[in-house]
Chains A and B, each alone.
Chain A
Amino acid sequence: MNRLQLATLLSWAGNNGLQGRKRLQKVVFFLQEAGCPLDCKYTLHHFGPYSRDVADRCDEMVTAGLVDEVGGPPNGDMPYAYTLKPKTYAALERTADAEMQRFHELGTRLINESIWSLELGSTILFFHRENANWNLALTRACEFKKVSIDAQPSQKALSLAQQISAGNP
């Protein structure tokens, strides 16, 4: 994922910014699974798919003064939140990523999705990539996250994963 792509994604989050590093990880994962060419390598982590590439790009843009970061430790009750600096909005106006723009609607929807649906849904989708079997993927993901398969949030997360996989979000 390059700077332009992350800046485009963060611009969809508006003035409130994108809330939480975990949310950022999962939104990028889903966008990538939906066909957005972000080229981030994901591995399975405690909280579902995690990409060092996403974390690094975000931190790099904070260091470069292009993205504002607020929140985060020490107590851990305020998640990190990311917004673009005014100069980054200005730079974004001078260039555009047409490919990214095709995913504007989906990206905005994912940014506003519940964090649990993102977390469990991305884990289901991660397991589905391994064996292309939704029942098995749901079972493995629910075992991994230690939650009930039949619970309503699990079914909602499954539905989100299936929609993304079918290219019909």
Chain B
Amino acid sequence: MSDKVFRDPLYNYIAFDRQRDGWLIDLVNCPEVQRLRRIHQLGVSNFTYPGADHTRFAHSLGVTHLMKLVLEHLERVSDVEKIKNARQALLATALLHDVGHGPFSHLFEPCLGIKHEKWSIAVIREESSHVHKVLKGQSAYLPNHVADLIDSNNASHPAWQRALMSSALDVDRLDYLRRDSLFTGAGYGHFDFHRLLTTVEFYGGETDLVWPAKSALAIEEYIFARYYMYQNVYLHKTTRGFEQLLQAMWRRANQLRRDGKAIDANPVLEQFWKADKPEPGTLSIEDYLRVEEYTVQEQIQRWTRHSDKPLADCARRFLERDGLAMVEPPPPVNPLKTDDFGEWEPELHKLLRANGYEEPAMYCLADKIDGKYLRPYIEEKDPQNQSAVNTIRVMVDGKPLAIGQYLPRLAAVIAKPEDKYCYYVPKEIRVEAKQLSQRLREFMTKTNT
């Protein structure tokens, strides 16, 4: 029997053995997995990088392929039975880890008030879902095992199983960094993933994962790939600006709704809004999965004709790619309250009103970038607290050593930086907003001295 083959731009062929892994092909064909074809992997990054139209589906297949490769390697170098026993659960986890994603991936989570991980777990545990039935057809325990591995609070299974899927160096990241690099055309994100997958070893009673020192340079490349991709793609100011615009639009709609005003919701989103809390248990899996990107885009299209001017204007801006401009605020007035910029916001609101913006809160959008995204690999410095989950380690003289200690030159890209704030305002007031920020900065410097 021939393999089921998917052509993939990263790996050329992703092949599943129909005899051994026919169940996995059934899982791929489930509607919940096929839905991932309609979810952009990078949200609205295609506003900045026009090629970034790849989907969660292709990424999920890629992660499954990499999981298959690493398990083949581990079968060769360790206890075959142990790997074989976990194989089905790990392959299914790789394929299904993103099955609960909503429209535009992570970007839309604050709009809907959801966490995709919770929904992935719920979809897998839901007895009526197609994926649950396929998993259960293989083994009664399999749905729970897969859901447990996705649940970061669950410690029921050996740590190495979760570490392969979710840790400082895991198959999820190995796929998305290279895939996002390829589709954005950014040109960063290259590293020797094959070496990383085929040199990983068990450590500590076979509970933990480490790499041999000979893989240190491949790890270094991977860390730099992460750094470059965050700096250039994931945190791109244009993309972040549109993310803020979309979220502001949703906040506005929620506010209008709370005020008892009609928001012209389409039927799918109306169902969503009716739920007290959009969480598994209060909203059905079926209703949740029905919210797709085209549902959201149709809603935004409707809002362009809404009587509420700010909502209609933000909707138009989003569809026409007429974004806001980024300005940096002055430093916070107290170093312990990093989101308190004193007079900055009130003054910015005055400026917006003077320029005809009657609802300044809609055009003065604060964006907090957590420092961990500015240095996407940050290791735990205390050896006693280290594991594959928080630190990439190489074996030196029979002991694991954090990569940052083994290669001290990495210090500059792995130190935890401060969180960063940006504001997005209409382009025509950008210059005045920058001058305002500068004036407040100088005032603070004078006051402090």
Contact = CB atoms under 8 A, between A and B. Distances in A.
Interface of A: 2-4, 7, 20-22, 25, 41-47, 50, 52, 55-56, 59-60, 62-64, 66, 72-73, 76, 79-80, 87-88, 91-92, 94-95, 126-127, 129-130, 144
Nearest to A7: B336
A43 B336 contact: no
Given A43-B155, A66-B336, 9 more contacts: A4-B337, A21-B381, A22-B382, A44-B155, A50-B385, A60-B418, A64-B418, A79-B382, A91-B336
A60 B389 contact: no
B418 A88 contact: no
Interface string B337-361: 1100000000000000000000000
B418 A63 contact: yes
B381 A80 contact: yes
A73 B383 contact: yes
B153 to A, nearest CB: 7
Given A73-B381, A73-B383, A92-B336, A43 B389 contact: yes
B387 to A, nearest CB: 6
Contacts of A52: 372, 390
A80 B207 CA distance: 26
B335 interface: yes
B417 A60 contact: yes
Interface residues of B, number: 31
- Per DSSP, are chain A's interface residues mostly helix, strand or loop, or mixed? helix
B228 to A, nearest CB: 21
Interface in B174-209: 204, 207-208
A21 B382 contact: yes
A55 B385 contact: yes
A148 B349 CA distance: 63
Query: Which of A7, A20, A56, A144 has the most C-beta atoms of chain B within 10 angstroms of its own C-beta?
Result: A56
Given A2-B338, A50-B390, A88-B336, A60 B385 contact: no
Given A46-B387, A60-B417, A64-B418, A41 B152 contact: yes
Interface string B414-443: 011111000000000000000000000000
B374 to A, nearest CB: 10
Contact of B385 (A47, A59, A66, A129): A47
Nearest to B378: A56
A21 B385 contact: yes
Q: Which 4 A-B pairs have the closest CB atoms?
A: A59-B416, A44-B155, A21-B382, A4-B336
Contacts of B207: 46
B378 A59 contact: yes
22 contacts: A2-B337, A3-B337, A25-B385, A42-B153, A43-B152, A43-B155, A43-B389, A45-B385, A45-B387, A46-B204, A46-B387, A47-B384, A47-B385, A50-B390, A59-B381, A59-B416, A60-B416, A63-B417, A76-B383, A80-B381, A88-B336, A94-B334
B371 interface: yes
A72 B387 contact: no
Contacts of A73: 381, 383, 405
B109 interface: no
A22 B337 CA distance: 26
A95 B207 CA distance: 45
Contacts of B387: 45-46
Contacts of B371: 56, 60
A127 B155 CA distance: 9
Interface string B201-237: 0001001100000000000000000000000000000
Query: Which of B153, B383, B385 has the most C-beta atoms of chain A within 10 angstroms of its own C-beta?
Result: B385
B390 A55 contact: yes
B336 A45 contact: no
Contact of B335 (A42, A66, A144): A66
Contacts of B336: 2-4, 7, 66, 88, 91-92, 95
Nearest to B333: A94
Given A43-B152, A56-B372, A95 B337 contact: yes
B334 A95 contact: yes
